[in-house]
DNA sequence: ATGGCTTGAGTGTCAAGA
């Protein structure tokens, strides 16, 4: 099974890019973040024409998540309990014997901002959701845009980013608590060196100099990790005409 | 130090992203 996650920064603006990428990689499960549309605006027909089902949880203008899959998804749960005011950011479903939590973590804007405090509370709620899912599903994947780096290896310029948003110690500790119940950062099981990122700033043309951050992750339970053969960041998808600012991350499971 | 760029909303210009 090929499991992928991608912050597409608007599914409607990105549909040509996403369609071409699906045809090239043919993932079994593709979790999308920042779809930025109401469920009735989601380009369902185009996705179904590629041979995929779509579970969607969106809202107007902002946020929005979706799980595309070749096999039907079951036991779908929309949202994160108690965090409804933060928008449409979590979609949980079972596909092919794998329980998948697709998450778009609150950005937080700036350390100390009210949205930063919301981010930390929101991540605590995600950690509770993950614990509950793990209690019921041995094969579990938590994927998505976490808007947090694990450590300075995930940062192109750790001095510039020191204790800044996406890199602060409280955010990293909150991410650690999402991992705590026996999950692992699957990418780091296969790639030990730095310089591998999933997001590059449009404004500074960060992709040109690989000035990026690794903030999109595939977290796997022990049972899922045993079946994981490799994890890849597809930087090709960040190139070309009108890309998203994020690249997809793909994990291959037996 | 600030803005750089992109999208959605909606038609002038802001909010939000990370």
- Which distant-in-sequence residues (6+ apart) come within 8 Å of A240 by Cβ? A17
Active-site residue, A145 included: yes
DSSP symbols for A192-254: -SS---SEE-TTTTGGGGT-EE--EEEEEEHHHHHTEEEEEE-GGGGSSSS--SB--EEEEE-
DSSP state of A155: B
pLDDT band at A5 (very low <50, low <70, confident <90, very high): very high
Per-residue confidence (pLDDT) for residue A200, from 0 to 100: 98
Active-site residue, A116 included: no
Structural tokens at position A128: 């509770």
- Quickly give A168 CA vs B18 C1' distance in Å: 13
Structural tokens at position A10: 């608007």
**Is A134's pLDDT higher than 90?**
yes
Structural tokens at position A225: 């990790």
Which nucleotide is closest to A14, CA to C1'? B7
Per-residue confidence (pLDDT) for residue A180, from 0 to 100: 83
Q: What average pLDDT does the segment A95-120 reach?
A: 98
- Quickly give A49 CA vs B3 C1' distance in Å: 42
- Model confidence pLDDT, tens digit, residues A8-28: 999 999 999 999 999 999 999
Which nucleotide is closest to A165, CA to C1'? B18
Which nucleotide is closest to A108, CA to C1'? B18
**Is A181's pLDDT higher than 90?**
no
pLDDT band at A145 (very low <50, low <70, confident <90, very high): very high
pTM: 0.98
- Quickly give A60 CA vs B12 C1' distance in Å: 21
pLDDT band at A102 (very low <50, low <70, confident <90, very high): very high
Contact at 8 Å (CB) between A52 and A95? Answer: no
The catalytically annotated residue of A28, A52, A116, A145 is A145
CA-wise closest residue to A150 among A173, A119, A182: A173
Average pLDDT of chain A to the nearest whole number: 98
- Model confidence pLDDT, tens digit, residues A197-224: 999 999 999 999 999 999 999 999 999 9
The catalytically annotated residue of A52, A104, A116, A197 is A104
From the number of C-beta atoms within 10 Å of its C-beta (0-12, 13-18, 19+), residue A179 rates as: middle
Per-residue confidence (pLDDT) for residue A108, from 0 to 100: 97
CA-wise closest residue to A120 among A169, A183, A78: A169
């Amino acid at each position: 099974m090929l499991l992928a996650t991608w912050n597409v920064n608007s599914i409607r603006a990105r549909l040509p890019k996403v369609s071409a990428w699906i045809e090239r990689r043919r993932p079994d499960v593709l979790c999308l973040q920042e779809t930025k549309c109401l469920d009735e605006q989601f380009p369902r027909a185009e996705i179904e024409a590629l041979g995929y089902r779509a579970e969607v949880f969106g809202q107007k203008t902002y946020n929005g998540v979706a799980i595309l899959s070749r096999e039907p998804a079951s036991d779908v749960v929309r949202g994160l309990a108690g965090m409804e005011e933060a928008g449409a950011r979590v979609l949980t479903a079972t596909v092919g014997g794998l329980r998948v939590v697709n998450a778009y973590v609150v950005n937080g804007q700036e350390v100390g901002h009210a949205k930063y405090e919301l981010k930390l509370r929101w991540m605590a709620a995600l950690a509770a959701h993950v614990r509950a899912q793990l209690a019921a599903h041995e094969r579990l994947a938590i994927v998505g845009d976490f808007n947090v780096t694990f450590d300075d290896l995930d940062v192109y310029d750790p001095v510039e980013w020191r204790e800044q948003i996406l890199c602060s110690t409280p955010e990293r500790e909150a991410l650690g608590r999402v991992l705590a119940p026996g999950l692992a950062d699957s990418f780091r099981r296969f790639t030990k060196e730095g310089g591998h990122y999933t997001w590059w700033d449009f404004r500074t043309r960060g992709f040109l100099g690989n000035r990026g951050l690794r903030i999109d992750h595939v977290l796997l339970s022990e049972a899922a990790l045993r079946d994981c053969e490799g994890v890849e960041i597809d930087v090709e998808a960040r190139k070309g005409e009108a890309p998203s600012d994020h690249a997809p991350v793909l994990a291959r499971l037996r």
